[in-house]
Chain A
């Protein structure tokens, strides 16, 4: 579904991502793990078209999206939830969701149906529809950005650190919801620092360190790798 080959990303002279290769199969939930600064977010941004790739190729369902800009990537069917939890704070929850469906803005019936489905999944968003998104709690904002990404009816969802800075109880709920999305057949690439939570929901995982992939395998294999914590703590 999503194939990343020899991807490199540079910030000036700093090599943030050094030729990584990984794949996410249809309906799979793959997790990209690693400590801060391992290059996970740069990878996500590069795939989403928000950051220029220096080398390598990204294909989505056989289509080359390596040098696509962000608006082309979403049209190709890949939606991104960035780690910065970018709600549009002055827009209402409903307006945020409406913009999520920007590429389907003429299909009112389809959007309504999609919105109803998302409102069942995230009842809080229905309650707060006319409230400015900036007034929501962190957890609610996270749900809003995920729901907004789903309004674009993606075939692949990139989730960058959805648990970042949230209370454990909320993190629990976010992960439950990720499982629900996975069961619905959505292909997901989940970037996380929260290893245990991520491995609990992931089919497979890749571990990144200093811009390179240093381990990969099924969730169980990764869990049993003894030096995982070493990669993690950067040791």
Chain B
């Protein structure tokens, strides 16, 4: 029983974080049909904001809010710097500019802060553990689960019940038609980047909360995870991204529990083999997005 609870908590907390990462990536992809390769750096920005404000004596919660706000600001900045100037030109151009922006941010962190890990202030609760039904688990796992439930519900509400959200879903299937109804293209795109930045910021706090330090390359793994989760779940579908995130977490956690110590260092190889199998079975991902739609 304790084992089952432990396993469940691990899957749900890792899955929640993965799902939020994937959601932040797929929101941009759905609308622009472009992967934002600078997405991981938004997590880095959140981390360094925490590090830079750590000496300020602000309450932790305020620093966390500031970190999320900075991730949103940099999300919107990505649009202005990397996407908007070349959006109409070519896919290749945007791919390169988003890589370039990602590199720029990483190198700025290397140059102006440090290549070495920097400590991020964490509230005590992040390092405490609790016992639930005999299973001992870090409180931060429960915080991650709670945060992902709240955020997934909030995103679902935004996308289903608000005019902005419905307009974003419409723009994701047919951008030109949405514009012909008066939905401003730039508003939709900026909103998508802001929402993506918001999710990256929150995930950043949870993700960095596991290790307690931030390095310039901290965003690489979340970007990879988000990318794989969206590929499994279906690049065009928001629920797909969430399903993909949880499924990837289930695979990872199962392998963590079952692989022997010697094989554990090859865990990613096992994970990716399974991902390949899933894609052979469902090349378009588990949940197919809207059928029509071209790149805008």
B163 adjacent to A89 (CB under 8 Å): no
Given known A-B contacts A89-B290, A90-B169, A91-B170, A74 and B181 have beta carbons under 8 A apart: yes
* B180 in contact (CB, < 8 A): yes
In the complex, what residue of chain B is closest to A95 when comparing beta carbons?
A: B166
Cβ < 8 Å to B, chain A residues 24-60: 48-50
A82 adjacent to B290 (CB under 8 Å): no
Given known A-B contacts A71-B184, A99-B183, A86 and B163 have beta carbons under 8 A apart: no
Q: Which residues of B contact A100 (CB under 8 A)?
A: 181
* A102 in contact (CB, < 8 A): yes
* B139 in contact (CB, < 8 A): no
Q: Which residues of A contact B119 (CB under 8 A)?
A: none
* A144 in contact (CB, < 8 A): no
Q: Which residues of B contact A80 (CB under 8 A)?
A: 180
Selected from B167, B173, B181, B184, the residue in CB contact (under 8 A) with A90 is B173
B180 adjacent to A88 (CB under 8 Å): no
A152 adjacent to B173 (CB under 8 Å): no
A88 adjacent to B177 (CB under 8 Å): yes
A74 adjacent to B182 (CB under 8 Å): yes
B237 to chain A, nearest CB (A): 9
Q: Which residues of A contact B181 (CB under 8 A)?
A: 74, 99-100, 102-103, 148, 152
Residues 83-96 of A, flagged 1 when their CB comes within 8 A of B and 0 if not, give 00010111100011
* A69 in contact (CB, < 8 A): yes
* A177 in contact (CB, < 8 A): no
Residues 166-209 of B, flagged 1 when their CB comes within 8 A of A and 0 if not, give 11011001101111111111000000000000000000000000
A90 adjacent to B290 (CB under 8 Å): yes
* B4 in contact (CB, < 8 A): no
Q: Which residues of A contact B177 (CB under 8 A)?
A: 82, 86, 88
A48 adjacent to B180 (CB under 8 Å): yes
B290 adjacent to A99 (CB under 8 Å): no
Q: Which residues of B contact A48 (CB under 8 A)?
A: 180
* Interface core residue of B163, B174, B182 (most chain A CB under 10 Å): B182
A121 to chain B, nearest CB (A): 19
B175 to chain A, nearest CB (A): 10
Residues 279-296 of B, flagged 1 when their CB comes within 8 A of A and 0 if not, give 000000000001110000
Q: Which residues of B contact A98 (CB under 8 A)?
A: 163, 166
B291 adjacent to A102 (CB under 8 Å): no
B291 adjacent to A89 (CB under 8 Å): yes
Q: How many residues of A contact B (CB 8 A)?
A: 27
Cβ < 8 Å to B, chain A residues 124-153: 148, 152
A82 adjacent to B169 (CB under 8 Å): no
Selected from B169, B173, B180, the residue in CB contact (under 8 A) with A70 is B180
Q: Which residues of B contact A86 (CB under 8 A)?
A: 174, 176-177, 292
In the complex, what residue of chain A is closest to B160 when comparing beta carbons?
A: A95
B173 adjacent to A102 (CB under 8 Å): no
Selected from A49, A79, A88, A152, the residue in CB contact (under 8 A) with B170 is A88
B180 adjacent to A82 (CB under 8 Å): yes
Q: Which residues of A contact B167 (CB under 8 A)?
A: 99, 102
B174 adjacent to A71 (CB under 8 Å): no
* A117 in contact (CB, < 8 A): no
B163 adjacent to A50 (CB under 8 Å): no
* A63 in contact (CB, < 8 A): no
Q: Which residues of B contact A96 (CB under 8 A)?
A: 170
Q: Which residues of B contact A49 (CB under 8 A)?
A: 179-180
A71 adjacent to B169 (CB under 8 Å): no
* A213 in contact (CB, < 8 A): no
B185 adjacent to A88 (CB under 8 Å): no
* A105 in contact (CB, < 8 A): yes
Q: Which residues of A contact B291 (CB under 8 A)?
A: 89
Selected from B170, B182, B185, B290, the residue in CB contact (under 8 A) with A75 is B182
In the complex, what residue of chain A is closest to B173 when comparing beta carbons?
A: A88
Q: Which residues of A contact B182 (CB under 8 A)?
A: 71, 74-75, 102-103, 152
Cα distance, A50 to B185, chains bound together (Å): 12
Cα distance, A128 to B72, chains bound together (Å): 39
Q: Which residues of A contact B173 (CB under 8 A)?
A: 88-91
B163 adjacent to A105 (CB under 8 Å): yes
Residues 166-198 of A, flagged 1 when their CB comes within 8 A of B and 0 if not, give 000000000000000000000000000000000
Cα distance, A99 to B179, chains bound together (Å): 10
Cα distance, A73 to B176, chains bound together (Å): 13
What are 8 inter-chain pairs, A to B, with CB distance below 8 A? A69-B185, A70-B179, A73-B180, A86-B176, A91-B170, A98-B166, A99-B181, A152-B181
Q: CB within 8 Å of A: which residues of B?
A: 163, 166-167, 169-170, 173-174, 176-185, 290-292
